[in-house]
Amino acid sequence: MRKRIIILLFLMAIMAILPFISMKNTVKEDAKDTQKNVFHVLDTSCNQITAINDRDFCIGALAYEMPSDFSKEALKAQCIACYTHFSKLREDSKENYDFKANLSKNEFYLKDIPAESKKIYSQAVDEVFGKVLTDSKGNLIKIAYHAISSGQTESAKDIFGFESEFLQPVSSAGDVNVSGYLSSKEFSGNTFQKIMSEKGVSFSGEASQWIGDIIRTNSGTVLKIQIGNKTFSGAEIREIFSLRSADFDIMYSNNKFILTVYGYGHGVGMSQYGADSMAKQGATYEEIIHHYYGNCLIQKSSQPKS
């Protein structure tokens, strides 16, 4: 009889603590969900998750993307673009982190910012903090941005393979006046042949005949290029030769291959130097955003808390 009583008391004790065990697990699983004003970043340098509040992240992300001497309206447009992009990653993440970054190498986010620059970034962030870009139904949109276009931005369909009404080609005329707009690289015929042979290319005939057909987007980025017996994407050639963009010309002259490159980056979405050019001509951040992202809405997110 005594043994039965002991067993009964043990079972009752287990039943009493089960709800607390379940609650503990729920709290652990929902810890990320209850901190909507925090970005959870998986730091790939140490495989640890770092929590950064939204405002601090916006300041660090803005510092990563733009120099502090850019016009304030351009900085504000970039802040909204950054916040929208990373908020979309946070919203779509099915992991216990929002996105990955090598924080030891300042990827996507600068932590240590000189005091004067941090003051400039902070002022820009505070003027638009919490604003995001949405569609007409209030959904966060996928966006992109880059440093310098070739004079006209690219479509998401051509570069990334998905259709977006908010990532269509638009003029970005101010980019052509930026010092980093034009760059070039030269390779001797032998060096060029060696590099491409390592990529499985075989050559025949004169070097002047090694470059075949080139297919481009309407904005200029190389989609396909024939080199020797193989076809490459412009993005592949950009990586192989460490070019600033995939919008390039290639010519052979005096036993050298000369690659002339236009712009810097993938070319989709807002051009950062184009935005600064617009701001210097008097454009507001709203005008900059609607120029590059079309008919999106600029709305206040319900998540951030300053």
Confidence band of 6 (pLDDT split at 50, 70, 90): very low
Better-predicted residue by pLDDT, 19 or 156: 156
CA separation for the pair 83, 303 (Å, rounded): 11
**Angle separating helix axes 72-92 and 115-128, nearest 10 degrees:** 70
Position 304 scores a pLDDT of 47
**Mean pLDDT for the stretch of residues 280-301:** 96
Which H or E run contains 19? Answer: helix 2-30
Query: Where are any strands of DSSP class E within the chain?
Result: 38-43, 48-53, 99-101, 131-134, 145-146, 182-188, 211-216, 222-227, 230-233, 248-253, 256-262, 270-271, 297-300
pLDDT tens digits, 79-124:
999 999 999 999 999 999 999 999 999 999 999 999 999 999 999 9
Distance CA 29, CA 77 (A): 35
SS3 readout for 116-179: HHHHHHHHHHHHHCCEEEECCCCCECCCCEECECCCECECHHHHCCCCCCCCCCCECHHHHHCC
pLDDT tens sequence across 44-70: 999 999 999 999 999 999 999 999 999
Burial degree of 107 (CB within 10 A; 0-12, 13-18, 19+): middle
- Average pLDDT over all residues of the chain: 90
pTM of the model: 0.85
Other Cβ atoms closer than 10 A to 123: 12
pLDDT tens figures, 195-208? 999 999 999 999 99
Q: Where in the chain are the domains?
A: 38-145+270-300, 182-262
Nearest to 223 by CA among 215, 231, 196: 215
Confidence class for position 36, pLDDT limits 50, 70, 90: low
pLDDT at 301: 82
